[in-house]
Amino acid sequence: MTISAERPTEVNDMGDGPPDFIAQPKLRRHGLLGQHLGTAIIGGFLGYILGHWLGNYIASGYPYIANSGQNSIAVLLALALMVLGWLIGIGALNYPFAKMLGREAKGEVEYQGWTRYFRYNLDHKVVGIQYVVGVLVFFFTGGLLAMAIRTELLNPTVHVFSADTYIKIVSEHGTIMMMMASSVVVGPLGNYFVPLMIGARRMAFPRIEAFSFWIFSAGYLVIFSALFFGGFPTGWTGYAPLQTQAGPGMISYLFGFAIISIGMMAAGFNLAVTIINYRAPGMTWSRVPIFVWSIIATAALLTLASPVLLAAGLFGILDKTVQTAFYVTEHGGSSYLWENLFWFFGHPEVYIMALPGFGIVGEILPVFARKPLFAYRIAAAGMIGVALLSFFVWQHHLFQSGINPDMRPLFMLTTELISIPTGFIFLVGMGTLYKARIRYEVPMLFCMAVYFNFLIGGVSGVFLSDVPVNVTVHGGFFVLSHFHYTIMGGLIFAFFAGLYFWLPKMTGKKMNKKLGLWHFWTMFVFFNLTFFPMFIIGLLGQPRRVFTYAKNLQTLNDFSSISAFLLGASFLIFVANIMWSQFISPEKSPANPWDSLGLEWQTATPIPIYNFERIPVIMTDPYHYSEPGAPALADFGQATMAASASPPSSSTSADQ
């Protein structure tokens, strides 16, 4: 990164960044005027009304559409203009509009006052906090739908919902959870901490970063709106021909996926460019924190896989609105096209969710084990290997679809091969814990739970890669339990580990330890009591997405349901902890409560606007725990000023 010292930098200057040493800029405090969440809601509402009217007007010339009660054109235009109104209302389009008019965009950056969290903001730390709140809201929404599912499964014959309503609840739950999970780490912790960990003052493209959050939020609203259009009966996978037979709620699913894929592409591209080009002098690839390695591997998946989902969603929208036949077999299309496009994105998406979780755990383990990260290069190579191989395994989801059986051995092999780099990452954690003096703080407990849960999920996944086993358990609760152990047991536990670990840096306050322990143990115990019995239920033949089942399975289902309710209650403990520690308790956290060597802990708390007053020169990697005579991680003094005055040498170049 080139560091200029020729001119002072204004607060709203988003050029190459400030000079190496600057005076703290004068902050501005903004009130309730201007563009914010309220105007975004108003803009979205007006856009929805206009789009729905326009769609009905267009359909009025086609009686077979207007009289069918399934005017997909009106739904699509309503949702499209709702998203446009949402983005205009929040101010996301101010910059391109201003440039087209030859003016300077204003009001994009708010650095002071609580209202900045409800605005379109170019500070990566504000965007990170916005993502934290956003994904928690989405997570609790999906969790409430999960409680409805388990309520229905309390009895095989006495029903709370109809079969049609039940499948739509299941579909909405799965879709919200999977799309939320795609950003649950990359959005909050990736955006907040990657610039700090690599010694950068900002993200490469701040406007793209802010846009990715607000388009992600709009995608959530679009997917949630399916409930008001009659829902969709396809599960979260959206398979044709059910897709082409579904009502207008299917438009919300398809358009929501398309919108969220745009946000994922933007986030992945921005993170990749930032990590490649904005590393501090001296931060060679062998010194990059393992969390950053996980994020760049994930960014590659986001950038390369998300366009396929966007294309798949647009094809489905065209089928539903203008009568094309991409997925309509009787008109020359193919339902296999959707399955291949969806899973070509969908299986890399599993690792979009898993890899950042591995990165969090790899970052936290050395801190509480007080040992260097074991086999750092193996962990980094494992993450790149997982990212690469994830594009070669998608058809194991199609073993039962009727595809050419000759393809099965190839995809069985690639699926089993991906367990090798995944195993490397797992063994790196075990090596770090070996003979360690572990401090059992709340973040460390969540990290150790990740390994326990992911081991069960990973071993069951190896079984599912085998064609005969897959044929036996396909479409049953065994598969459901497997991916909950992999995704929720791995990713969500890692996310909470990251929150408990980094919130003192983000807010200046630690989470309450006693409430944190209660949260961990209730979540860990009841998670396993909820999902482990589902392996047995699946092996006994209970299919997914069906609201009735054999009476002899009621005891196991009741046990899982009651455990699920208690699992849901464990998240209320987390909410109580957040409210108490962050908003009620006056107790402040020490500057570095965990004694971490990470670069993000070396700057002041609260973090300055530009993160570092002087760009640090990186001297070593951040994992030299309990090593006598280890060099300091970074130099923030005169060496940095010298580095900014002349091009960095080959040994400290940010381009290495």
476 vs 22: which has the higher pLDDT: 476
- Partnered with residue 634 across adjacent β-strands are 618
- 524: CATH: 1.20.210.10
Give pLDDT, residue 653: 35
Structure tokens at 26: 């004068």
Query: Is-contact 313 236, C-beta < 8 A?
Result: no
Whether 24 shows a pLDDT value over 90: the answer reads no
Q: What is the mean pLDDT of the chain?
A: 88
178 and 97 share a domain? Answer: no
Give pLDDT, residue 457: 93
Please give the angle made by the CA atoms of 366, 639 and 621, to the nearest 5 degrees: 15
CA-based radius of gyration for the chain: 25
180 vs 197: which has the higher pLDDT: 197
Domain closes at, from 104, 132, 164: 104
Classify residue 28: in a domain, yes or no: no
Which of 182-186, 454-458, 462-466 is most confident? 454-458
Query: Is-contact 259 212, C-beta < 8 A?
Result: no
Q: Which residues are CB-neighbours of 281 under 8 A, at least 6 positions away?
A: 615, 617, 618, 640, 643, 648, 652, 653, 654
Give pLDDT, residue 610: 87
Query: Is-contact 471 399, C-beta < 8 A?
Result: yes
Q: Once rounded to an integer, what is the mean pLDDT over residues 559-580?
A: 96
- Partnered with residue 618 across adjacent β-strands are 634
Tokens 């393809």 — which residue?
Answer: 407
For residue 189, give its domain range: 121-584
566 vs 107: which has the higher pLDDT: 566
Q: What's the domain count of the chain?
A: 2
338 and 482 share a domain? Answer: yes
Domain closes at, from 530, 562, 584: 584
Residue 435's SS3 state is coil
As a whole-number percent, the residues of the chain with pLDDT over 70 amount to: 89
Classify residue 614: in a domain, yes or no: no
Give the helix ranges, DSSP H, for 540-601. Answer: 554-578
Q: What is the DSSP letter of 406?
A: G
Q: Model pTM?
A: 0.91
Q: Is the dihedral of CA 222, 224, 229, 232 positive or negative?
A: positive
Give pLDDT, residue 17: 42
Whether 312 shows a pLDDT value over 80: the answer reads yes
Give pLDDT, residue 10: 36
Whether 234 shows a pLDDT value over 90: the answer reads yes
Which of these, 355, 274, 349, lies nearest to 304 by C-alpha position? 349
Q: Once rounded to an integer, what is the mean pLDDT over residues 552-574?
A: 96
CA pair distance 342, 346, nearest whole angstrom = 6
Whether 547 shows a pLDDT value over 50: the answer reads yes
89 and 128 share a domain? Answer: no
Distances (CA, A) of 572 to 103, 133, 136, 180, 447: 48, 15, 12, 19, 20
246 and 133 share a domain? Answer: yes
10: left (phi over 0), alpha (psi -120 to 50) or beta: beta
375: left (phi over 0), alpha (psi -120 to 50) or beta: left
Classify residue 356: in a domain, yes or no: yes
Give pLDDT, residue 644: 39
Classify residue 75: in a domain, yes or no: yes
Number of Cβ within 10 Å of residue 613's Cβ equals: 17
367 and 473 share a domain? Answer: yes
In the structure, what pLDDT confidence band is assigned to residue 635 with cuts at 50, 70 and 90?
confident
73 and 169 share a domain? Answer: no
Whether 648 shows a pLDDT value over 50: the answer reads no
Whether 377 shows a pLDDT value over 90: the answer reads yes
144 and 276 share a domain? Answer: yes
Exposed (0-12), middle (13-18) or buried (19+): which is 185, by Cβ within 10 Å? Answer: buried
Give pLDDT, residue 428: 95
CA pair distance 562, 568, nearest whole angstrom = 10
Query: Is-contact 379 425, C-beta < 8 A?
Result: yes
The bridge status of strand 634-635 relative to strand 617-618 is: antiparallel
Classify residue 504: in a domain, yes or no: yes
Q: Once rounded to an integer, what is the mean pLDDT over residues 4-29?
A: 39
333 and 381 share a domain? Answer: yes
- The string of DSSP codes covering 235-304 is TTTT-TTHHHHS-THHHHHHHHHHHHHHHHHHHHHHHHHHHHH-PPTT--GGGS-HHHHHHHHHHHHHHH
Structure tokens at 192: 């907040």
pLDDT, one tens digit per residue, over 354-363 is: 999 999 999 9
Query: Is-contact 337 327, C-beta < 8 A?
Result: yes
pLDDT, one tens digit per residue, over 135-156 is: 999 999 999 999 999 999 999 9
Domain closes at, from 584, 610, 638: 584
136 and 212 share a domain? Answer: yes
97 and 130 share a domain? Answer: no
Q: Which residues are CB-neighbours of 593 under 8 A, at least 6 positions away?
A: 504, 510
